[in-house]
Structure formats: structure tokens, C-alpha cells
A = this chain, B = another copy of it.
Amino acid sequence: MEITIDIDDSVPLFAQLIGQIKQAVLCDEICPGDALPSIRQLANDLELNNKTVAKAYRLLERDSVIQTKGYRGTFVHPDAKANSTVDLNAWVVTKLGETIGAFRESGVTDSEIRIAFGDVMNRRSS
């Protein structure tokens, strides 16, 4: 499995990582059960910070593309192939687009939408 990171790309590093690992799963370069390099090791190979790789792994595990088994390492999830095609973000964008579209048609200002968005995001996290 070859992973290439382009620092000059506008796509965030952790996002590039996620994309390439998903791609590798879809192309059968890595199969369910296969072990993935450890966070520290991959970070070292790609000359990235541990946190950057850890962030990618965290997101990949949430999407059930990989499975972390504590001290035993990280492995490709059994349903990785199916879950790599399911783009959670695409669903969020679509759903959010519908909602915001309705606002705009009602004459709500983009500025007001942004403010409301900020309120909603801050109220629940505190």
C-alpha cells in the first residue's frame, strides 16, 4: 500500500490520509483483517505528526473502515469495503443543503443563517 501526501495540496493532510486508505480498501490493496501500521509508525514514514495520523484513524474507525484493538494494533474492518463507499459527509452536505435551501427561499439572509448555525453549535457543546 502506497500513500502519498502532498503538503501543498489544499486538502488537509488528515483528509488525504483518509481518502487514500479508503481508496486502498476499495482497490483491494488492503483487505479486511489486514493490519495497518501503527499511528506512530505511519506518522514517521510520512513525516507527519502523530496527532494528524491519529485524527485520520479516529475518523476512519468511526466510519467502520478500520478497527482499533487497543494494544494489539489497528486492522481493516470486516465491512470496510462497503463502508468506504458510504460517504457520511456527502449525506450531511445533502441534508444540510435542503435545510439551508428552504431558509434561503424564505428570504433568510446568509448572515442570519450563519448566526443561527453558530448558536446551535455552541449551545449544545457547552
Contact B110–A125 (Cβ < 8 Å)? yes
Q: Is A112 positioned at the interface, with any CB of B under 8 Å from its CB?
A: yes
Contact B99–A95 (Cβ < 8 Å)? yes
Question: What per-residue 1/0 map shows which CB atoms of A69-109 lie under 8 Å from chain B?
Answer: 00000000000000000001100110111011111101111
Q: Is A7 positioned at the interface, with any CB of B under 8 Å from its CB?
A: no
Interface residues of A toward B: which range?
20 to 34
Partner of A120 from B62, B97, B109, B115 at Cβ < 8 Å: B97
A110 and B106 in contact (CB under 8 A), knowing A96-B99, A99-B99, A116-B89? no
Chain A interface residues (CB < 8 Å from chain B)? 59, 62, 88-89, 92-93, 95-97, 99-104, 106-110, 112-117, 119-121, 123-125
